[in-house]
Amino acid sequence: MNKTKLFVTLMTTAAIGAAATATPWCVGKDCQTPVHAVNAPAVTNDAVAPANLPNAPQITAKAAFLLEANSGTVLYAKDAEARLPIASMTKVATLGVIYQALADGKITMDTPVTVSDNAASMGGSQAFLDAGSTYTVKDLVQSIVVASANDSCVAMAEHLAGSVPNFVAQMNQFARDVGATNTNFVNCTGLPATGAYSCAKDMAKMYQAIMQSPHYGDFNHVWLYDLTHPSGRVTGLTNTNKLIKQYPSCLGGKTGFTNEAGHCITVAAQSGDLKPVAVIIGASDSKTRFRESRELLDYAAQNFTNQLLVDRTLPIKTVKTKNAVLDEVTLYPAQDFYYLTAKGTDANITIATEIPDAITAPLNMDTDCGKIYVLQDGKVLAEIAALPNLPVPAANYWQTVQKIVGRSQLL
């Protein structure tokens, strides 16, 4: 199979005029040289999907979905919006709320959590926690990720939100925040419950979201480990995701099974800049869910290529600042932009920028100071803001005088 030909051309501000709408646009009230704005769509997580290719796998599960997480591109779908029970894949949202609490500083991995009688009484997959004993958040999160422990989920829910219903409300908010519109949670475990459902597309979106957490990879590749309880008792726990041993590029995943839901899995892998997330709901048996999820991951790696065209960690331009405590500021892209194509296709991509030479303070780190455009044959694929790398306050009278004096001394 031929490699994808991807031609990337850097385009100057002056050259963008031919592809731009003739609407004056200028950053900063004192900008002296107007440029032109392009009426471009924002980067989304629902990029236009290529059709399932002729060699797409034949999925027998009730529903399936394949999302490339870096670009947000849909690569495969089968009944992807059908509302179905998802069993323990519910814990993707449970982890989403926990990871957000970690990010917000509400808890740390060392925070102690006391297990209630209610939490310890959970059936199904569990870590066999001791009621009344205290565990760390790390203990509980690891048992959720590795062993899908229902008792640990309830213990964390009660600790963070005061009750399971309050925590479930946060899970549903998490789902809404990431655009999961065909999802409703009733509990934090995935145990059978009336009114609980999700869909393959929503599962991919929620998993894509938790992959952004710095704690996402903490325990994903743990196959076996011993949980030592405060009493000294030891429970051996095994990872429910066999793909971490069977599929070398696997990043992690979450399985699920009940008689109602069938065998389910959401799993991610990585090959270079390609990061597919595969979802299987309602497979007939465990072997089928692992085989069909592998087939989806293989399908992504064999048929598509992905490339990082705009890197938010790399500076775009250093510009002068006016009326500011600093003389200049460096601008960075607000976000990454990946371009995904089917292998063997040509793509003529242009990167253009519209950034003034000087910007007037004050500036915050979310101040839009310019634009980066990704274009294909003159059509705008994405518009990305250029942001300062640090806040720049406006200079007061004395700071302005000191800067003038300082410059005069250099003459």
Residues marked active site are found at 88, 91, 148
In whole angstroms, what is the distance from residue 318 CA to residue 323 CA? 16
Composition of the chain by helix, strand, coil, percent to 5: 25, 30, 40
Inter-CA distances, 343 with 268, 309, 374, Å: 20, 17, 20
Contact (Cβ atoms closer than 8 angstroms) between residue 235 and residue 128: yes
* Amino acid identity for residue 291 in this structure: R
For β-strands 112-114 and 317-322, DSSP reports them as: unpaired
Half-sphere exposure in the Cβ direction for 15 (13 Å, CA): 11
Helices 150-161 + 91-103 axis angle, to 10: 40
Task: Identify any residues that bridge with 254 across adjacent strands, giving them in sequence order.
Answer: 266
By three-state DSSP, how is residue 119 classified?
Answer: helix
**Element (H or E) spanning 265, and its range?**
strand 262-269
